[in-house]
Structure 1
Amino acid sequence: MSKLQSDVLREAITQVVTEAKEKNRKFTETVELQIGLKNYDPQKDKRFSGSVKLPHVPRPKMKVCMLGDAQHVEEAEKMGLDYMDIESLKKMNKNKKLVKKLAKKYHAFLASEAVIKQIPRLLGPGLNKAGKFPALVSHQESLEAKVNETKAMVKFQLKKVLCMGVAVGNCEMEEKQIFQNTQLSVNFLVSLLKKNWQNVRVLYLKTSMGKPVRIY
């Protein structure tokens, strides 16, 4: 049973979006769900990690890079998607600094089947450490659909601290879409927790530059 009250969430969304629009900033602010947990010991309890696909893309400008074979590189080029081929990956020569820089530059990576197997050998563990190991794209699926799916995914990963944040929308979206994304994100997160709602201390919504508003 979800303990997130719909009216509280609706009011919070209206509040953060209205405040952001009044400020009229030069960029579209992201709406973020901030989570504080309790009764959880990251040292002892299992650190969870899970991804869920949201009904609406929260960050349309999210940067994705295709690590592709010849066919995927060609498709990426036509779509205006950033890409790297095997030769470019070989040039990185497992250089930790370069791999770290690459991981920082993009929110997510996709890779062709022929390339994904070689990533540990070509790049070392850098992308994996950054939590950005590429998702596999086969030639049977549409690259564009896969990019859109990647942009709609949010990842919940408990590290050493009991707080985390994920993007659930942006200020250009309809409030109803932000509502649906937030509801799905919260319910998915709660399903990952050992004691479900008993592990949730606090939930906030905030825009990139705005003040947090408590929703739970």
Structure 2
Amino acid sequence: FSLELCEILSRRFEKMSKLQSDALREAISGIMADSKEKNRKFVETIELQIGLKNYDPQKDKRFSGSVKLPHIPRPKMKICMLGDAQHVEEAEKIGLDWMDVEALKKLNKNKKLVKKLAKKYHAFLASEAVIKQIPRLLGPGLNKAGKFPTLVTHQETLESKVNESKAMVKFQLKKVLCMGVAVGNVSMEEKQIFQNVQLSVNFLVSLLKKNWQNVRCLYLKSTMGKCYRVF
């Protein structure tokens, strides 16, 4: 998104949204002040924590959806390229972890090894030639972990796809009525965090069967900081 488009969307969403801008700004300022005061030795991630209501994960359709945020919430997010020769070469140039088909074959569909691989990375990218072979090479492990690779073609640069992946957040209803997604970090500007949170919340609400009537509560929290209720 361009910043202009993000502002237009934010204004539009604000009219429909029950998320109060003042409460959100106050929470973000509180998180940032707390982080500066404590001066921790790492960059804290800011998470949006969501509680839902009037949903039955057993009976109701479990939703799943991803949205690209205007600002990358986790620059250090770990991504692995499952690539053909050309993409492996590109990955090496930009310092991105990679595995080729031979390396994937060595996992031999071993459930434990595939699970370990899924845990090691936040997301996976894959070349067209490799993505078709993933069910055969790895079984359903990555899919079960909600980390099935995103396709990368040779018409786009690998670096732009990596940045796009880092800006994506995924909302997925599993067995419990709560979830959390990274929406920023304490090195960002408050306005950037505000835009990310607004877009995340309104996208989530659009996935819910009764929209805002399904939202019990929303909290913002940094890795080591306290929770701030924003709804």
Q: Scaled by the length of structure 1, what TM-score is found?
A: 0.99
How far residue 54 of structure 1 moved from its aligned partner, in angstroms, is 0.1
Question: Which residue in the other structure is 1:171 paired with?
Answer: 186
Corresponding position: 1:3 with 2:33: no
Give me the whole-angstrom Cα distance separating, in 1, the residues matched to 2:36 and 2:62.
37
How far residue 17 of structure 1 moved from its aligned partner, in angstroms, is 1.5
Question: Which residue in the other structure is 1:64 paired with?
Answer: 79
One-letter code of the match for 1:144?
E
Question: Which residue in the other structure is 2:164 paired with?
Answer: 149
Query: Secondary structure of 1:13's match?
Result: helix
How far residue 22 of structure 1 moved from its aligned partner, in angstroms, is 1.1
Q: How many residues align?
A: 216
Question: Which residue in the other structure is 1:161 paired with?
Answer: 176
Give me the whole-angstrom Cα distance separating, in 1, the residues matched to 2:110 and 2:39.
42
Alignment equivalent of 1:188, drawn from 194, 198, 203: 203
Corresponding position: 1:35 with 2:50: yes
Question: Which residue in the other structure is 2:13 paired with?
Answer: none
- Cα distance per residue 1:151-192 (max 9 Å; x no partner): 000000000000000000000000000000000000000000
Give me the whole-angstrom Cα distance separating, in 2, the residues matched to 1:206 and 1:21.
14
Corresponding position: 1:83 with 2:98: yes
Give me the whole-angstrom Cα distance separating, in 2, the residues matched to 1:95 and 1:20.
42
Q: How does 1:114-153 map to 2 (within 5 A)?
A: 114-153=129-168
Corresponding position: 1:52 with 2:67: yes
Alignment equivalent of 1:23, drawn from 11, 35, 38: 38
How far residue 19 of structure 1 moved from its aligned partner, in angstroms, is 0.6
One-letter code of the match for 1:66?
M
One-letter code of the match for 2:140?
P
Give me the whole-angstrom Cα distance separating, in 2, the residues matched to 1:17 and 1:93.
46
- Cα distance per residue 1:38-93 (max 9 Å; x no partner): 11111111100000000000000000000000000000000000000111001000
Query: Secondary structure of 2:109's match?
Result: coil
Query: Secondary structure of 1:26's match?
Result: coil
Question: Which residue in the other structure is 1:93 paired with?
Answer: 108
Gaps of 5+ in 1: none
Give me the whole-angstrom Cα distance separating, in 1, the residues matched to 2:110 and 2:36.
43
Give me the whole-angstrom Cα distance separating, in 2, the residues matched to 1:21 and 1:30.
14
Q: Scaled by the length of structure 2, what TM-score is found?
A: 0.93
Q: Percent identity?
A: 85
Query: Secondary structure of 1:201's match?
Result: strand
Corresponding position: 1:73 with 2:88: yes
Give me the whole-angstrom Cα distance separating, in 2, the residues matched to 1:24 and 1:130.
34
Give me the whole-angstrom Cα distance separating, in 2, the residues matched to 1:76 and 1:152.
19
Give me the whole-angstrom Cα distance separating, in 1, the residues matched to 2:184 and 2:123.
17
